[in-house]
Structure 1
Amino acid sequence: MIKINNLTKKYKDKLVLDKVNLQIPSNKISFFVGKNGSGKTTLMDILAGLNKINHGSIQIDNKDASIPYSKSLRKKIFSLPVENISVEYLTAKENLLYYSELFKLKLSDRKIKDILQSYNLFEETDFSVTFSTGMKKRLDLAILDIIAPEIILLDEPSLGLDVYHVDFLRKQILNYKKLGKTVIVTSHDMALSEKIADMIYLFSEKKIIAYNAKDVNSEEIVLESYKDHD
């Protein structure tokens, strides 16, 4: 469980999040939705330990999570940004080897081969990463696979993807849940949230409202938030 208590975040004089109180369940898929500039990515950066708060606190597994995060907490959380994390002049295999060295992981050649095959990247191992948007996303997810964090933060993961790769992404996020991971996604893709979200958090006017995803139409609640504050 991630507990956010009375969290306030400002950028100079601009108030982005105002005394937010929130609980995000473990082993579930949670979506952050809302209009641009409503604080979704800001909160993701805070949860990733990349952005300090002005007031309030965050608890992860009943332990205070203050920035800079402890080494054990940094191992537990990984944030996949909108931008690709793969290194373009390396092959898919070399990218996995690079991140395994970076995170001090020992991966056998067999393990790397299996991961590349499971992400449909095996045939691309001899080429540098001049891949399509969808293939780059698959490689990012393969890198995420070897890091294997308990809490996964995905910022607009379906952006620019075709139907095949959105489906690939959807299945992978559901697989994370089966593995007992906690997944938090920021997205404007309402169709994706409708299919896989357990919880939906609507960001509106510096506040966040939590919904059980089974009880709401995510597109409707986002559109209503625009109407309320036009």
Structure 2
Amino acid sequence: MIAQFAEERIMDKPLLVSHVKKRYKNKIAVDDISFSTNPFECVALLGANGAGKTSTLKMIHGANTISSGKIEVMGFDVKKDLSTAKKNVGIVSQEDLLDLSLNIYENLIAHGLCYGIKKAVLKSRTEELLKFVDLYDVKFKEIGELSGGMRRRLILARALLNQPKLIILDEPTTGLDIQSRHLIWDKLLELKKQGVSILLTSHYMDEVENLADRILIVVAGKIIAEGTKDTLLKQYRKKTLEEVFLELTTKVKGEIDV
């Protein structure tokens, strides 16, 4: 298995966000949000640009400070024990930050060494992950030769090197063709079946529908609705998730603007 859970922590919530706020000077980007994720589950944060999604993700993996509230990853407090919390997180960000001077294989090895993974273990894990994301046969290709889909799969493999319990995906398939998107979705669904907890942001409704077990709709830093696709459709009497999203975000935005 790509993800291996320690038995003593398997019952912990992979992610627990409690009354979290993020302030930038006079602006509140994240406003008292609370949610959690479970093993074998994908939770999607759905919101327009500027809704507070990326600020939330950055606080979870320590790229942003938490103004108030508490975030725990596998029971470890991000404020008090960030280094341990980060060991349980894999990140697929919008920026790939791949080293153009290294090939596919070397990029993974270099990243794994930063985690302090022993060389023998790292080599085995790298080859396993390259097979998992269907890049093993091209593992010596230079980064500049890769298609967008191949780069995104490499970033996913990189995010899995530390065998994380939680994977954060920030717009993971933006700009990819439909075949590449579906290939990445298939890999993410495999990870979920193995017990990995996934936190996803995406502007693609079909992506959210394919991957997410629960959906949190975020407007102006607040979670204004939460549920499965079916419960949201039933609650708001709509035929599509897009219709639910448009109704809620337009209504709340109008109230805020007033």
* Corresponding residue of 1:215: 231
Give the secondary structure class of the aligned counterpart of 1:147: coil
1:186 Cα offset (Å)? 0.7
Give the secondary structure class of the aligned counterpart of 1:120: coil
* Corresponding residue of 1:138: 153
Contact 2:58 2:64 in 1 (8 A): yes
Equivalent residue letter for 2:83: K
Instruction: Report the Cα distance in structure 2 between the residues aligned to 1:64 and 1:97, rounded to whole angstroms.
Output: 27
Give the secondary structure class of the aligned counterpart of 1:146: coil
* Corresponding residue of 2:61: 48
1:139 Cα offset (Å)? 0.9
Change (3 A) 1:160 1:68: farther
Alignment equivalent of 1:117, drawn from 125, 131, 138: 131
Q: Does 2:114 match 1:91?
A: no
Equivalent residue letter for 1:22: F
The 5 A counterparts of 1:1-230 are: 1=13, 2-61=15-74, 63=75, 65-67=77-79, 69-105=81-117, 106=119, 107=121, 109=123, 111-130=125-144, 131-208=146-223, 209-216=225-232, 217-228=240-251, 229-230=253-254
Moved >6 Å (runs of 4+): none
- Cα RMSD after superposing both structures: 2.0
Instruction: Report the Cα distance in structure 1 between the residues aligned to 2:250 and 2:156, rounded to whole angstroms.
Output: 36
1:147 Cα offset (Å)? 2.3
- 1:88-137 deviations in whole A, cap 9, x for unaligned? 22111111211221112233655544432332323433331111111101
Contact 1:193 1:218 in 2 (8 A): no
1:152 Cα offset (Å)? 0.6
Instruction: Report the Cα distance in structure 1 between the residues aligned to 2:172 and 2:218, rounded to whole angstroms.
Output: 18
Instruction: Give the total of aligned pairs.
Output: 229
Equivalent residue letter for 1:126: F
Change (3 A) 1:97 1:199: same
Instruction: Report the Cα distance in structure 2 between the residues aligned to 1:116 and 1:64, rounded to whole angstroms.
Output: 30
Change (3 A) 1:57 1:111: closer
TM norm structure 1: 0.90
Equivalent residue letter for 1:158: T
1:87 Cα offset (Å)? 1.3
Change (3 A) 1:195 1:125: closer
Equivalent residue letter for 1:149: P
- 1:23-76 deviations in whole A, cap 9, x for unaligned? 333331011111110000110111112211222222344x46242634322211
Equivalent residue letter for 1:225: L
- 1:135-166 deviations in whole A, cap 9, x for unaligned? 10111112223222111101000101111111
Equivalent residue letter for 1:173: L
TM norm structure 2: 0.81
Contact 2:78 2:85 in 1 (8 A): no
Instruction: Report the Cα distance in structure 2 between the residues aligned to 1:5 and 1:115, rounded to whole angstroms.
Output: 33
Contact 1:9 1:53 in 2 (8 A): yes
Contact 1:93 1:125 in 2 (8 A): yes
